[in-house]
Amino acid sequence: MIVEMKRAYIVVETSKKRTMLKDLKKAGVLHLESTIQGNEETQSIQKRYDALSSVISAITELQNKKEPIEQQALSQEACGELAERYSRLIDEKKRLEEEIRVHHNQVELLAPWGDFDPSEIEALRGEGIDLHFYTISKKDLANLDPSITYYPLAPVSQREAIATVGLELEPSTMAVEFSVPTKGLAETEALLNGATEALATCVKTLGEGGRYLNALKNYQSRLDSAKYFEEIACGMEGEEDLSWISGYLPVDAVPSFETLAKSSGWAYLLRDVDENDNPPTLIKYPKGVGIIKPVFDILGTVPGYNESDISTWFLLFFTLFFAMIIGDAGYGFIFLIAAAAIHIKMKKPTTLVMLVYVLSAATIVWGSLTGTWFGSEAILVHVPFLQKLVIPTIANYPELFGISAVTAQNTVMKFCFIVGTVQLSLACTLNVISKAPHKDLSLVADIGWLVAILALYLVVLQLVIGTVINFTVVFSVVMVGFLLVVLFGEQGPGVSIGRGMTKGLAGIFTTFLNTISAFSNIMSYIRLFAVGMASVAIAQSFNAMASSMNSGIAVIAGILVVVIGHSLNLIMGLLSVVVHGVRLNLLEFSGQLGMEWTGVAYKPFAQTAQEQ
């Protein structure tokens, strides 16, 4: 359920506002609603934070990942000094890398000319002998004006090399002048080697910082927390003598908050949340349902404070969708083994591990009922016990049980439509239940949606499976539902019946489109059948490929085909769960509930684990 919130206001003397914030942070119950502002202090902290991020990134990249590193603890002061030292090393590393690049390019340029002392050429220029060096093709050299005096040199990079005294060749000669550097080849190579050695030492020192990685990350978290604290303090409203702040806290935290406020001498006010407020959402999961939280965390979805908590229904339907989309009992056992391995390694199961346990068990059950074991019919044929678990009318190999493929497929599709109708009807029922205590007449519109969805289910069966229905009766029922939605969809507390009906009639075209959308929503559940069948077909294809490689060295290739093929199929199945299984809950089901998932997660102003 979504925990009820209280709006809280705190007023203190401006000179004591930081003390108040420290006590509030220790309590860790108030979700702040405050303007974030910065100052010189926050800018300074941000600079240190950014520099530390660069240090951590560099150490992570350069540390020895092959050997376990024993982490060493450091004080905050030591972390700060170490971060500054490593920041200088990173700057030095960048400088050396640029220096090496320049020297390397210079060596490549000088190597074809050989080693010489540039100072001697400079000395000749001082005596009036101005030498210019060029490379030129044999053809262009032959076409050079005979009046030009030059001195041939050893070829350079498959081009002729020449020197002129006091004469610069025109660009039209196609000669490329060689700019004499300030340092010769041997000296440049020595500089390159020196910079390379210095860089290696710098990299080694940074890599050795891996032993302080945890300490630096903890220090980084403290910096982030300190910055946020300063931003909150700067953003507090107030005057010269008084400052105040507001936020939200769960109702069960009110007693502890009041005790803290009274003992600290704060002036405070608590009131109920009203329609002008934007409280955060704190979900208290029913026992056993909290395992779905990792899915919500990954998706980043939070229901609005005034919306419904559908975590229980989300878990139930998501589990079914997962099982039907993956669809293979063999794959279910793979998930089960993976969850068990993580469980054993961690000794204590996380909510994610428990969720995988549930999902894998559901997949095993569904795969057993459909007779799907790694997409192999042979496994089902050679293990009679597995055949006893199968429901023939939904089997993926119905011929083994005397059932036609069309009959089995129609049964599964019908089951998909039933699931969709049940889920959408549940949404309508939940809306009616939530509105009834408030005497909200719009619940009649939800009853209209319920009637329309049940009738549209029969239309879907007619169009997809060919079930014979009385279109006149069904259409009449849909029209009744449609009219109820038009007349009562805009009703609500404080809205007169006449005004609500007028608004409903004004939006009759939108309601018509929504009715068509309800039909397509039921139809969309066929994706469970389609994706499940596609997964089986892919598994069968890889099995068929591998079965042809059954002799000699080809057996190894066959094993690789099976392993790689089923691994890819598993990955695509998981992606399909996200695309299709999650969609049915977040769009079709949630849309029928009227949920927009625009909530803000409850995040109290509290100490981090590193600060405690």
Tens digits of per-residue pLDDT, 543-574?
A: 888 888 877 777 888 889 889 999 999 999 99
Q: What is the pLDDT of residue 555?
A: 81
Among 345, 325, 340, which Cα is nearest to 525's? 325
Asked if the structure places residue 241 within a domain, the reply is yes
- Could you tell me if 3 and 144 lie in one domain? no
Asked if the structure places residue 391 within a domain, the reply is no
Among 248, 232, 328, which Cα is nearest to 280's? 248
Q: What is the pLDDT of residue 201?
A: 93
- Could you tell me if 76 and 9 lie in one domain? no
Q: What is the pLDDT of residue 500?
A: 79
- Could you tell me if 506 and 423 lie in one domain? yes
Asked if the structure places residue 554 within a domain, the reply is no
- Could you tell me if 89 and 136 lie in one domain? no
**Contacts of the segment 185-191: beta carbons below 8 A, 24+ positions apart:** 185/107, 185/110, 185/111, 185/113, 185/114, 185/115, 185/116, 186/115, 188/103, 188/106, 188/107, 188/110, 189/103, 189/107, 191/99, 191/103
Neighbours of 362 (CB within 10 A): 21
Measured at the alpha carbon of residue 240, what is the angle toward residues 237 and 245, in degrees to the nearest 5?
25
Q: Give the pLDDT confidence of 141-197 residue by residue, as tens digits.
A: 888 888 888 889 888 888 899 999 988 888 888 999 888 888 889 999 999 999 999
For 327, the 3-state DSSP assignment is coil
Which tokens sit at 559?
């094993």
Q: Give the pLDDT confidence of 21-80 residue by residue, as tens digits.
A: 999 999 889 999 877 777 888 888 889 999 999 999 999 888 877 777 888 888 888 988
Q: Give the pLDDT confidence of 413-444 residue by residue, as tens digits.
A: 999 999 999 999 999 999 999 888 888 888 98
Angle formed by the axes of helices 554-576 and 527-547, nearest 10°: 170
- Could you tell me if 227 and 240 lie in one domain? no
Q: What is the pLDDT of residue 517?
A: 87
- Could you tell me if 207 and 219 lie in one domain? yes
Q: For residue 244, what is the enclosing H or E element?
A: strand 242-250
Query: Model confidence at 610, in pLDDT bands (50, 70, 90)?
Result: low
Eight-state DSSP code of residue 525: T
Q: Fill in the amino acid letter for 504.
A: G
Measured at the alpha carbon of residue 247, what is the angle toward residues 19 and 228, in degrees to the nearest 5?
55
Look at residues 183, 201, 219 and tell me which one is the last residue of a structural domain: 183
- Could you tell me if 90 and 212 lie in one domain? yes
Asked if the structure places residue 84 within a domain, the reply is yes
Q: Give the pLDDT confidence of 121-131 residue by residue, as tens digits.
A: 888 888 888 89
Phi, psi of 599 (to 5 degrees): -75, 160
- Could you tell me if 55 and 200 lie in one domain? yes
Asked if the structure places residue 400 within a domain, the reply is no
Phi, psi of 133 (to 5 degrees): -115, 140
Q: Helices marked H in 111-184 — which ranges? A: 118-126, 138-142
Query: Into how many domains does the chain fold?
Result: 4
Query: Model confidence at 200, in pLDDT bands (50, 70, 90)?
Result: very high
Given a contact cutoff of 8 angstroms between Cβ atoms, the answer to whether 250 and 5 are in contact is yes
Asked if the structure places residue 329 within a domain, the reply is no
CA dihedral 592, 593, 594, 599 (to 10 degrees): -130
Task: Please tell me the pTM assigned to this model.
Answer: 0.78
Over the Cα atoms of the chain, what is R_g? 37
Look at residues 168, 183, 198 and tell me which one is the last residue of a structural domain: 183
Asked if the structure places residue 295 within a domain, the reply is no
Given a contact cutoff of 8 angstroms between Cβ atoms, the answer to whether 29 and 221 are in contact is no
Q: Give the pLDDT confidence of 218-233 residue by residue, as tens digits.
A: 999 999 888 888 888 8
- pLDDT exceeds 60 at position 575: yes
Which tokens sit at 603?
């995040």
Q: What is the pLDDT of residue 612?
A: 54
Given a contact cutoff of 8 angstroms between Cβ atoms, the answer to whether 164 and 151 are in contact is yes
Among 209, 212, 221, 220, which Cα is nearest to 74's? 212
- Could you tell me if 433 and 489 lie in one domain? yes
- Could you tell me if 63 and 176 lie in one domain? no
Q: List 250's β-bridge partners, or say none.
A: 5
Show the domain range for 210: 38-105+188-231
Rounded to an integer, the average pLDDT of 534-548 is 87
Contacts with 414 (C-beta within 8 Å, 6 or more apart), sequence order: 461, 465
Asked if the structure places residue 289 within a domain, the reply is no
Look at residues 183, 200, 216 and tell me which one is the last residue of a structural domain: 183
- In order of 95, 105, 135, 140, 155, the CA distances from 113 in angstroms are 28, 14, 10, 20, 8
What are the E-state strand segments in 108-241? 131-136, 151-156, 159-165, 176-178, 237-238
- Could you tell me if 434 and 501 lie in one domain? yes
- Could you tell me if 23 and 57 lie in one domain? no
Eight-state DSSP code of residue 281: B
Q: What is the pLDDT of residue 124?
A: 87
